[in-house]
Structure 1
């Protein structure tokens, strides 16, 4: 099918100028080419649009109706085109973001507040779900997830930083059951299961500078799939569980949770930003990714350093106590 939009533009300009020649000059073509474009449009529509004489052009009744409709259609098309082009230049509109729980309640929330403050024309809609949605079908712009590795997909993924989980318990639990001092001691304690994309719920992958273990969780009285619920259970003295550094850091600092076997980390993982395509990336997505790299990445690093610093302080204090004894 011939370029009907281009022919409509030619026809509208012919009506507005009243001349094939004037439109030909605007487009740097011949008047005969402009005339043929209008004739081709009439053939497509099976309707005469213009009365032609050697000195005058006038609209037919069908041409008059088509001219009014064509003007409106072209105005809408131009507005849509400008809007789409501006979307790649000026951040604006609704940004639909998915994030895994735990990550959202900590560092991501602060990053998004800062982003929206910097880009007030963008409305951020955040959805919290454990598993990553279908970004295209569900209409998401970006997904923020934690994973040891991503499955093959058509999506684009950017690594924003790394983190790990730690074993923690409440001081009350430790007071009642004692603090595990070695890996083997864990077998005598109540261990809780947390189901996340980062690790399977039925085993803990523990790593230290000296060794590594895969601890099977053969019996756990409680299993959850939300870090905030796991945290609540741990605060209530239910047992020993695992939390990501960014979910545990404030409780560790406040002393409401204590780190168990601090020489061990539970399998490190990466925080990813996942989005549908890198082609024609909208400004709101591009600026969000830039903002997350500038804020979330150093925040994740700072959390890890803070947790390790607390662990080292605890270890030094324990060493001093042992010497005094």
Structure 2
């Protein structure tokens, strides 16, 4: 029989004063109760109760063991309650990984909103240009941008859709007439973004008229960070593909201008990735809910403002 079970039976016998009372309380037999206490005594090699036909007496060793047992049983009960609560109420520490561009622009704000809603959760937000190992790095959630996710043991939920658009600074376009079609991009300096999410080798552009692929050639400027892309474009480096979430503020104030506004890249999905489908902590569930509303909602709003078709998540 289980040691903790036997311990709990012994504690009830002490508290209720008889095997019969405990057997009736637990809807079992007196023999089962007596056997649980006997197994415990055999394992401890110690007499815990003195039995007679009329009454039970607890020994000194039994009294000491009882006092320790009820403390241990209380700790176990508390641990179980906390584990159950983890499925119901967000608490503890949430470790989140995200790529820098969307992390700085959207995920950080969503994490702050989450903290305000669930103050019992501490949030660590980690930014880097890679897909992490969630288990080895003890991460709860990773926010990933990709057309499709590779097969893995991880679980994912789609939280939104991201697009890139072509943009340049007014200063650059003042010196280099804006292209009228994708074929004119060959006459411009292209600023290339190369990250885990974006290939610099080809620009797949879509419009109502269909899809066209531009492969930048000749001299170019390359970066591997969306914020660096924004900076170089505003400084007049050329024309580049930049995510709507990184460009929107600059487009609004005019420090960037959209080029070939009828075109955008094919959509990339934004995923929340976590390690297990079973027994997901409430802190993770609620964070993904916040991501869908805050990050997914913002991405939809940007797409609508830029005239890009929106897909509901």
Q: TM-score normalised to the size of structure 2? A: 0.90
Deviates more, 1:265-274 or 1:281-290: 281-290
CA contact (8 A) 2:108 2:125 kept: no
Quote the residue 1:284 is aligned against. Answer: 283
1:218 Cα offset (Å): 4.0
1:175 Cα offset (Å): 1.7
Q: TM-score normalised to the size of structure 1? A: 0.87
Deviates more, 1:15-24 or 1:71-80: 15-24
Quote the residue 1:144 is aligned against. Answer: 143
1:35 Cα offset (Å): 0.7
Equivalent residues in 2 for 1:26-105, closer than 5 Å: 26-105=25-104
Equivalent residues in 2 for 1:261-280, closer than 5 Å: 261-280=260-279
Cα deviation, 1:56-100, whole Å, max 9, x if unaligned, reads 433445434433332222111111100011111112222222222
CA contact (8 A) 2:206 2:264 kept: yes
1:230 Cα offset (Å): 1.4
1:114 Cα offset (Å): 2.4
Quote the residue 1:207 is aligned against. Answer: 206
Deviates more, 1:269-278 or 1:55-64: 55-64
SS of the residue corresponding to residue 74 of structure 1 reads helix
Cα deviation, 1:201-250, whole Å, max 9, x if unaligned, reads 22221222224233223455432221111111111112222111111111
Following the alignment from structure 1 to structure 2, what is the Cα–Cα distance between the partners of residues 95 and 219? 46
Provide closer, same or farther for how the CA distance between residues 228 and 151 of structure 1 changes in structure 2, counting only shifts above 3 A: same
Q: How many residues align?
A: 308
Which runs of no fewer than 5 residues in structure 1 stay unpaired?
Answer: 310-325
CA contact (8 A) 2:48 2:59 kept: yes
SS of the residue corresponding to residue 267 of structure 2 reads strand
Quote the residue 2:128 is aligned against. Answer: 129
CA contact (8 A) 1:193 1:220 kept: no
**1:293 and 2:292 correspond:** yes
**1:106 and 2:105 correspond:** yes
Quote the residue 1:225 is aligned against. Answer: 224
Provide closer, same or farther for how the CA distance between residues 222 and 45 of structure 1 changes in structure 2, counting only shifts above 3 A: farther
Quote the residue 1:216 is aligned against. Answer: 215
Following the alignment from structure 1 to structure 2, what is the Cα–Cα distance between the partners of residues 34 and 43? 14
1:128 Cα offset (Å): 1.3
CA contact (8 A) 2:100 2:225 kept: yes
Quote the residue 1:24 is aligned against. Answer: 23
Equivalent residues in 2 for 1:235-254, closer than 5 Å: 235-254=234-253
Following the alignment from structure 1 to structure 2, what is the Cα–Cα distance between the partners of residues 108 and 59? 61
Higher helix share: 1
Quote the residue 1:319 is aligned against. Answer: none
SS of the residue corresponding to residue 159 of structure 1 reads strand
Following the alignment from structure 1 to structure 2, what is the Cα–Cα distance between the partners of residues 265 and 76? 58
Following the alignment from structure 2 to structure 1, what is the Cα–Cα distance between the partners of residues 255 and 268? 25
Quote the residue 2:311 is aligned against. Answer: none
Deviates more, 1:177-186 or 1:217-226: 217-226
User: Please, what is the CA RMSD of the aligned residues?
Assistant: 2.0
